């Protein structure tokens, strides 16, 4: 009997992480979080489980980990609030769900999944999304759950800048997962607090289907991280799928091509990608990206810096 093939690729954000700039503790915390997420998602896939379940499970681990900018540990808006964005998409049916500007759901990725499976809609925002979360019985969390001193420090530092603060070139920490399961179905999920000192009400690429998140069994599953305004304008996640499906590019060529296009526009960031054939990888134009991969025939591997 041949072993069922599956692959899970995750990210914990792209950004200015260079060797020597992260403290040993931050380096170790990032790697431990990525490893735990790979194990959580890999367990589902190795048991023959579904790609959507696997990406949700992996992202939930990273949302609960304060080292990453999603769920607990999300960055602050300029007004000192926390507004989370998330999305999930299943490549076999093209079912998709997203939430933007949610404030009280412990795991925003699970709220995105509830939008996908238990509402007729694809994207819910703000108070309406928060209310839907309560109605659906998802676990609620207060501001103290999301708040971390390090994110507060980053906001204060940014607001103290003479140029007024907002800087999309800073270190990120958004999380995402893409998977292909033993049945050959792909899925993608992304979750983020967005960018430090963003305007309240600002929505990035992560919850927008086609921009930061996309999955299509005919092509690939993609989760993006980086300066969302550029990913939205390029429709990065959908275009990677379109290049594979219509132009015959490999997932690596399509991912590299879109990171080149992002750079040409002045944007920085990265993508993770899997194909229905079990191939998986990433591309980024920042010094580093928190990332990891596990598959039916390879143990969990994690990396942070560009030279790993």
Residue 71 binds to ligand ASP (criterion: CB under 6 A): no
For the beta carbon of residue 166, count every other beta carbon within 10 angstroms.
16
CB of residue 187 to ligand ASP, shortest distance in Å = 19
Longest distance between any two alpha carbons in the chain, whole Å: 65
Nearer to ligand ASP, 194 or 300 (CB): 194
CB of residue 29 to ligand ASP, shortest distance in Å = 17
Contact between residue 72 and residue 48 where contact means Cβ atoms under 8 Å apart: no
Q: Catalytic residue among 148, 174, 196, 286, which? A: 174
3-state DSSP helix/strand/coil % of the chain, to nearest 5: 35, 25, 40
Stretch of 111-119, 132-140, 192-200, 295-303 contacting ligand ASP, by CB under 6 A = 192-200
Residue 116 binds to ligand ASP (criterion: CB under 6 A): no
Q: Which residues contact 195 (CB under 8 A, 6 or more apart)?
A: 75, 166, 168, 170, 172, 202, 204, 227, 228
CB of residue 45 to ligand ASP, shortest distance in Å = 24
Nearer to ligand ASP, 45 or 177 (CB): 177
Nearer to ligand ASP, 55 or 182 (CB): 55
Contact between residue 27 and residue 290 where contact means Cβ atoms under 8 Å apart: no
Cα distance between residue 91 and residue 183, in whole Å: 12
Q: What is the 3-state secondary structure (H, E, C) of 102-157?
A: ECCECCHHHHHHHHHHHCCCCEEEHHHHHHHHHHCCCCECCHHHHCCHHHHHHHHH
Stretch of 29-37, 203-211, 249-257, 292-300 contacting ligand ASP, by CB under 6 A = 203-211
Cα distance between residue 254 and residue 69, in whole Å: 27
For the beta carbon of residue 38, count every other beta carbon within 10 angstroms.
24
Nearer to ligand ASP, 166 or 305 (CB): 166
Taking the alpha carbons at both ends of the chain, their separation in whole angstroms is 35
Q: How many residues form the binding site for ligand ASP (CB under 6 A)?
A: 14
Residue 192 binds to ligand ASP (criterion: CB under 6 A): yes
Cα distance between residue 36 and residue 119, in whole Å: 31
Cα distance between residue 219 and residue 13, in whole Å: 23
Residue 105 appears among annotated catalytic residues = no
- For residue 191, CA distances in Å to 157, 247, 249 come to 24, 29, 27
Q: Two tokens at 276? A: 């229905």
Site string for ligand ASP, 211-230 (x = CB under 6 A): -x------------xx-x--
Residue 172 binds to ligand ASP (criterion: CB under 6 A): yes
CB of residue 193 to ligand ASP, shortest distance in Å = 8
CB of residue 89 to ligand ASP, shortest distance in Å = 16
Task: Restricting to residues 50-69, name those near ligand ASP by CB under 6 A.
Answer: 69
Residue 49 binds to ligand ASP (criterion: CB under 6 A): no
Q: Two tokens at 262? A: 């992002």
Site string for ligand ASP, 11-30 (x = CB under 6 A): --x-----------------
> Residues 12, 33, 91, 204: which binds ligand ASP (CB under 6 A)?
204
Task: Using CB under 6 A, list all residues that contact ligand ASP.
Answer: 13, 69, 172, 174, 192, 194-195, 204-206, 212, 225-226, 228
Catalytic positions are 174
């Amino acid at each position: 009997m041949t072993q069922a093939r599956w692959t899970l690729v995750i990210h914990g954000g792209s950004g200015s992480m260079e060797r020597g700039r992260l403290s040993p503790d931050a380096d170790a915390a990032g790697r431990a979080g990525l490893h735990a997420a790979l194990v959580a998602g890999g367990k589902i896939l190795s048991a023959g489980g579904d790609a959507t379940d696997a990406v949700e499970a992996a992202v939930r681990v990273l949302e609960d980990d304060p080292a990453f900018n999603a769920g607990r540990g999300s960055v602050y808006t300029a007004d000192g609030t926390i507004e989370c964005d998330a999305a999930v998409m299943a490549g076999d049916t093209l079912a998709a769900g997203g939430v933007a500007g949610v404030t009280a759901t412990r795991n925003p990725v699970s709220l995105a999944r509830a939008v996908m499976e238990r509402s007729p809609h694809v994207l819910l925002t703000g108070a309406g999304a928060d209310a839907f979360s309560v109605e659906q019985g998802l676990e609620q969390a207060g501001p103290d759950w999301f708040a971390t001193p390090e994110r507060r420090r980053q906001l204060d530092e940014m607001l103290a800048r003479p140029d007024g603060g907002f800087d999309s070139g800073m270190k990120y920490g958004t999380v995402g997962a893409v998977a292909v399961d033993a049945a050959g179905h792909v899925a993608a999920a992304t979750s983020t607090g967005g960018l430090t000192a963003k305007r309240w009400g600002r929505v990035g690429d992560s919850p927008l289907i086609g921009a930061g998140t996309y999955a299509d069994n005919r092509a690939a599953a993609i989760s993006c991280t980086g300066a969302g305004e550029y990913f939205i304008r390029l429709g990065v996640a959908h275009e990677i799928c379109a290049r594979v499906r219509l132009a015959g590019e490999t997932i690596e060529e399509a991912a590299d091509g879109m990171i080149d296009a992002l750079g040409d526009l002045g944007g920085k960031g990265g993508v993770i990608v899997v194909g229905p054939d079990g191939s998986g990888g990433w591309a980024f134009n920042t010094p580093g990206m928190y990332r990891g991969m596990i598959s039916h025939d390879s143990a969990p591997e994690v990396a942070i810096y560009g030279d790993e």
